[in-house]
Each structure stands twice: as C-alpha cells, then as structure tokens.
Chains A and B, each alone.
Chain A
Amino acid sequence: MSRLRRLVEAPLWAMLWKELVQLRRDRMTLGLMLGIPAIQLALFGFAIQTEVRHVPTVVLDESHSSESRRLVEVFRNSGNFDIVARVSDRHALAVEIETGRANAALVIPPEFMRDVRRGRPAQAQVIVDAADPLASQAALSGAQLAAAARAGELAGAGPARLDVRVRPWYNPGLRSPVYIVPGIIGVLLSLTLVLITSMAVVRERERGTLEQLIVTPIDKTSLVLGKILPFLLIGYVQITVILVLGRVLFRVPMLGSLPLLYLLSLAFIVASLALGLLMSTLVRSQVQAMQLSFLFLLPNILLSGFMFPRQAMPELARWIGAALPLTYFLTILRGVLLKGTGWAELWPEALALVGFAVGLVVLSVARFHKTIE
C-alpha cells in the first residue's frame, strides 16, 4: 500500500505532466519533430542514389557473333550500362577508360560464340573503373545480373552455359532507397532525439527554471526520466512517419515483424535520449548542445554502416562504429524490414542496445548534479 502510494505520488508524474503540457504548447518544436523526418527522408531518399545506373560503357567485341551481340543487348537493356563506344583492340579500350569517357568495359573474347554453342562455360570480362568504389560495386553487380539474365534465357535450351558466381541478395534491383530508408530512420532518430533532449535540459538551465527546480526535493531519477520519457513518444511518431513514407514513396518492404521492430526501437530511443541528457551535462548553452549533437552525427553517418559497409573499414573505424548504438540498430532495422529476420538472429544487437540504454541512463543520472556550477 505505502509502496503503491509512493509510486503514485512520485515527482516523476508531475515532471511528465509538465513536460507534456509544455510540449503540446511548443508548436514549433512539435512541427519540426514531425516535419524533419519527412523532409530528410525525401532528400536522402531521392538524392543519395548509391546504385549507379547508366554507367558509360565501352564494348570490345572480338567474337563478332550473334551471341556476343545478344549479350551486349542484355547489358544495354538492363539500364545499368550505356554503350558509349565500340573499340577493336585493348589499347583503345584502355584509352576510353583512362580518359573517363567510359567507366566500364565489356570484353567478349573470340571463342565466346563457340563456347556457348558447345555448352562450355562461356566467359566475358567486365572491367570497372574502381576509382569510385560505390559505382564500381554497383557496376559489378549490374554486370552479374545481366549475365545471369542471359544465362537464364540460354538455360531454356539446355544446361546453363553462362557461369554466374555472385548475385546481390535482398535488393535485386539494386535500388538504394530500399537500403537507405531503414538507415535514415536510425540516423534521424539519433540526431533529433539526442538534440532535443540535450537542448531541453540546457534550455531549462539557460532560462533559470532549472535552478528553481533543483532547489526542490525532486529526486534526480524523476527529473532525468521526466525529461527523457516524453520524447519516447516523439521517437515512435518519427519511426512511424518514416516507415509510412518509405513505403509510399520508395516501396520499402516490410518483411519482418512490425511489433518486434517497435519493441527493439525502444532500447535505441532510450539510449539516444540518455545520450542527449549526458551531453547536456557537458555543455553550457543551447548552441553548444547543438554543435555537440552535430559532432556526434558525423561518426554515426560515416561509421555505423549507414553509408559505407563496415566490413571494408580499418580496424579503428570499426571499433568506433561498435561504440555507436546506431550500428546495432541499423542491423535490426535492415534485418527486420529487408530480410524478415526475427528475434533469433537479432538478439545480440538487441542486447547491445539494452546495454547502451541502461548504461547511458545510469551514467546520465550519475553525472546530473542538483547544483548550478
């Protein structure tokens, strides 16, 4: 009874009530909270096209056969390659690539037609200008897709005669929005949640309301949780907005369990909010809070696997990435949305996020002092 009474009368409820009333009146912040995800999603989704279509391609056809012309046709029709030139020797091909007129080359050797007809593995070579790793990656995948398409056609007439080893999974169209949108959910949540919590506390400090508040007997936990929890709501609204828009605008699939995604998001949101609170104990003004939040955004974008695959990173960068909650959340987001993975595969990431959440809340409560120095 007395324990229940203590719970009901905890200052936490007063804090939550106050924060929600203030949030409701702050139309500007509320609008930004909902508008930012929509705008960012559209920007990122349309602007960041990591798939490369229409790669300028030079063709060296030494086979001069119906089969080789057919292969070139398949490449062209995939939309990934634009045939910009046809050359008759290797040297001319190298010149085309070196001058940048072409970023890829399709080389079909003289024996191509003969191998296809005899049912031997026929080889064609795709050369890619690897100066832009993203573009070359896409071109490689595109080439394999095109080859696979042609092999499929030939398979109708007998055993498969074009050998294809690698095929991109989960996103066969190589459409980057599908890959980017789940990432945007994570990046946007990290940015806005960290930013608004750190600002919310620093704003109270700047306005002098924190001084009046900490001279009361309110306990630190109520104060900290009261500041954090209302933004949980904001976090969930943001996730929902991005998921719905991602589906409508970019046809992002939702293969896994939505309730699981929402459940696992909880740990990530709490971790981000606690991090914001921790930052607020380090800065003196809202401007500093904003700067620190953006500083935090950078490694999140670069090292979490949002833009670049983590496997390709040097060890130090991988370690830093492993210290970011977003890294784990991205695996969860992409897993649930794009691959339909469930709890059985994702529990290590979930555990890591819960660890971050608990650790950061404890740390921010410990660092938060009821003094004004």
Chain B
Amino acid sequence: MSEPSWSNAVVAEGLRKSFGPLVAVEGLSMTIRRGEVFGFLGPNGSGKTTTIRMLCGLMEPSGGTATVVGYDVRRDAEQIRRRIGYMSQKFGLYDDLSVGENLKFYASIYGLHGAGRRARIAELLADLGLAPRVGQLAGTLSGGWKQRLALACAMAHRPAMLFLDEPTAGVDPASRRIFWHKIHDLAAQGTTILVTTHYMDEAAQCGRLAFLSRGRLIAVGTVAEVLEHFHQPTIEDVFIELQRRDEGAVV
C-alpha cells in the first residue's frame, strides 16, 4: 500500500458526534500541522475526549469527515492505529502486569519482535527513567510513574502522532515537568502531539491552542491570539470566562 503524503496531521471538517439526543461534538473543523504541539482546552464535558476518540478510530463520527496522518478515520482506522499512540484519561494498562511486561506486550502488539523489541524496550526504559522499576507491578506504581509507563507504551512503535488525553491529571509538579520535557523532545523529533489539559502552565507550552465549549470549537490559535480573541489577560481567565458562559447558557 502506498503511503499517502500528508503535511497536516489532522484535518477535520464538520465533525459531529451525538449519543441519542445528546450532542457531544458539533461542526468541529480544525487542522493540526505536522510536528506541532496542539493543546485542547475546555471545561469537562466540552467534547475533548469524544473528539480524540473519533480521531483515534475508537468512535465512529455521526457526521463530518476527518483524516489523521493522511488516512480517513472511517475507512482506514487500522492504518491510523499503526501510526498513532494514545494515552487515555484513565490509566489503561494492566495493573497485574509488571512495567516490563506491559511494555513487552504493547511492543509486541505494535509489531516489534526479537532483538528489535528488546532494544526498543531498553531504550524506552532508559528514556523515561523506568529501568529501576521494570519488575514492579503497574498497579502499585504512583500516578507519575503510571503516566510515564503509559507514555512509554503509547510510543513503543515510534508513532507519527500522539494523542494524550489529560496525561498529567493528578500528577505531581516534578513529574509533570519531566513529562513535558519529554513531549517537547518528541515534538522536536517530528512527532505531532495533541494534548488536553486543565493546567494553564501546560497550555502555555503548546504551540497552538483550541478551546472547546459545549461540543463546539470556539477559538484556535497561539496563546497570544487566544488571549486577544477573548480580551483576557491570562489563559486561566479565558477558561473561567468560558465556563461562566456555559453555566449562563444552562440557566
């Protein structure tokens, strides 16, 4: 199969997702450029996770189209899965397998075998500082270590794009800093990253930001552009303003 050439990691046009009468995402159009760190912001329930799930092929869109790393999310979900890594909001690895076993399992599922797999696992363990904990059961790791292991598993196959859904929720500041260093490293090597966060210091580190509110994309741009758009001094103020509008709309 010939690889489609792509310059934009994600191109979404009018993406829509409804669960019965509930509309989770409506008319979402956006472009994520290759190699950028793209931040997804918005209050809980604004449609961030649903959008990511549609882009990863975990949910079928109810309407609209999207391509990820050059492939259509409806037609070529399997091709996309080979080329992306995904960290869900909830720790999705096996508590009853050790750090090393989780890595070995995911590396194998992503098609690595024999010496190549051993080398890649050693590299990931060293890279994320997991080597001393290789034999520890994942369920007994603290939040920061779980998140590093999840990132290691998600990037076992050197994906072209990473989807990170609130990767640093409930993680201490030191671990968050290490984690973001890693994200910038990956971006520098050409990996496209879509990350959701509630931490404003993390949002400030993204190349571009997208704000979601009640299933709709309401602003996209660099930090400076977003601040100007909403006439607010900080991203946190933008966020609070959005939430206030949401609640006003409900009342």
Whether A370 pairs with B60 at a CB distance below 8 angstroms is no
Q: Number of B interface residues, CB 8 Å?
A: 31
Q: A209-B92, A211-B92 are in contact. List 11 more A-B contacts (CB 8 A).
A: A11-B108, A15-B109, A18-B97, A208-B88, A208-B91, A212-B93, A215-B84, A216-B109, A217-B110, A217-B111, A373-B60
Are B57 and A215 in contact (CB-based, < 8 A)? yes
Count of A-B residue pairs with CB < 8 Å: 76
- Which residues of A have CB within 8 Å of B9? none
Q: Is the CB of B58 within 8 A of A208?
A: no
Given known pairs A217-B81, A217-B82, the reply for A208 and B110 (CB within 8 Å) is no
Q: Name the CB-closest residue of A to B90.
A: A208
Nearest B residue to A18, CB-CB: B105
Q: Is A13 an interface residue (CB 8 A)?
A: yes
Knowing A215-B81, A217-B82, A370-B57, the reply to whether A25 touches B96 (Cβ < 8 A) is yes
Q: How far is the CB of B141 from chain A (nearest CB, A)?
A: 15
Most buried by A among B57, B77, B78, B92: B92
B109 close to A217 (CB less than 8 A)? yes
**A22–B97 contact, CB under 8 A?**
yes
Q: Top 9 A-B pairs ranked by shortest CB distance?
A: A212-B92, A14-B108, A208-B90, A215-B86, A217-B81, A217-B82, A208-B92, A216-B109, A18-B105
Which residues in A have some Cβ–Cβ distance to B below 8 Å?
Answer: 8-9, 11, 13-15, 17-18, 21-22, 25-26, 207-209, 211-218, 370-373
In the bound complex, residues from chain B placing their C-beta under 8 Å from that of A21 are: 97, 101
In the complex, the chain B residue whose C-beta lies closest to that of A212 is B92
Say yes or no: A211 contacts B58, CB within 8 Å: yes
B66, CB-defined interface residue at 8 Å: no
Enumerate B91-114 residues with CB–CB distance to A below 8 Å: 91-97, 101, 105-106, 108-111, 113
Check A211/B101 contact, CB under 8 A, given A14-B108, A371-B58, A371-B59: no
How far is B84's CA from A8's CA once the two chains are assembled, in angstroms? 24
CB distance from B229 to the nearest CB of A (A): 33
A371 touches B81 (CB 8 A): no
- B53: CB under 8 A from chain A? yes
B contact residues vs A (CB 8 Å cutoff): 53, 56-60, 77-78, 81-82, 84, 86, 88, 90-97, 101, 105-106, 108-111, 113, 150, 153
Contact across chains for A217 and B78 when beta carbons are under 8 A apart: yes
Q: How far is the CA of A25 from the CA of B94 in the complex (A)?
A: 12
7 CB contacts below 8 A, A to B, read A14-B109, A26-B96, A211-B58, A212-B86, A213-B109, A215-B81, A215-B88
Specify the chain A residue showing the minimal Cβ separation from B77: A370
By a CB distance below 8 angstroms, the chain B residues around A17 are: 105, 108
Closest to B137 in A: A25
B60 touches A371 (CB 8 A): yes
> Contacts A22-B97, A208-B92, A209-B93; is A215 near B56 (CB within 8 Å)?
yes
Inter-chain contact A22/B58, CB cutoff 8 Å: no
- A218 with B109: in contact, given A18-B97, A212-B88, A370-B77 (CB under 8 Å)? yes
Query: For residue A22, which residues in chain B have a CB less than 8 angstroms away from its CB?
Result: 94, 96-97
Are B94 and A209 closer than 8 Å at their CB atoms?
Answer: yes
A14 and B78 form a contact (CB under 8 A): no
How far does the alpha carbon of A26 sit from the alpha carbon of B60 in the complex, in Å? 35
Whole-angstrom distance between the Cβ of A203 and the nearest chain B Cβ: 11
Complex Cα spacing A215 to B96, Å = 20
Question: Which chain A residues lie closer than 8 Å to B96 at the CB level?
Answer: 22, 25-26
A207 contacts across to B, CB distance below 8 A: 92, 95
CB distance from A340 to the nearest CB of B (A): 45
In contact, B110 and A216 (Cβ under 8 angstroms): yes
Q: In whole angstroms, how far apart are the Cα atoms of A87 and B18 in the complex?
A: 81
A211 proximity list for chain B (CB < 8 A):
58, 88, 90, 92
**Most chain B beta carbons < 10 A, residue from A11, A21, A215:** A215
B99 to chain A, nearest CB (A): 13
Contact A216 B81 (CB under 8 A): yes
Given contacts A11-B109, A22-B96, A370-B77, contact A215 B91 (CB under 8 A): no
Chain A residues within 8 Å of B88, by CB = 208, 211-212, 215
Closest-by-CB residue of B relative to A372 is: B58
Known A-B contacts A208-B91, A371-B58, A373-B59; the reply to A9 vs B113 at CB < 8 A is yes
Instruction: Give A217 to B56 CA distance when docked, in angstroms.
Output: 11
Bound Cα distance from A287 to B110, whole angstroms: 32
Chain B residues within 8 Å of A212, by CB: 86, 88, 92-93, 150, 153
CA distance A144 to B96 in the complex (A): 61
Contacts of B95 in A (CB 8 A): 207
Q: How far is the CB of B167 from chain A (nearest CB, A)?
A: 13
A209 CA / B105 CA spacing, docked (Å): 13
Min C-beta distance of B153 to chain A, whole Å? 8
* Nearest A-chain residue to B92, judged by Cβ: A212
CB closest chain-A residue, reference B85: A215
Nearest A-chain residue to B79, judged by Cβ? A217
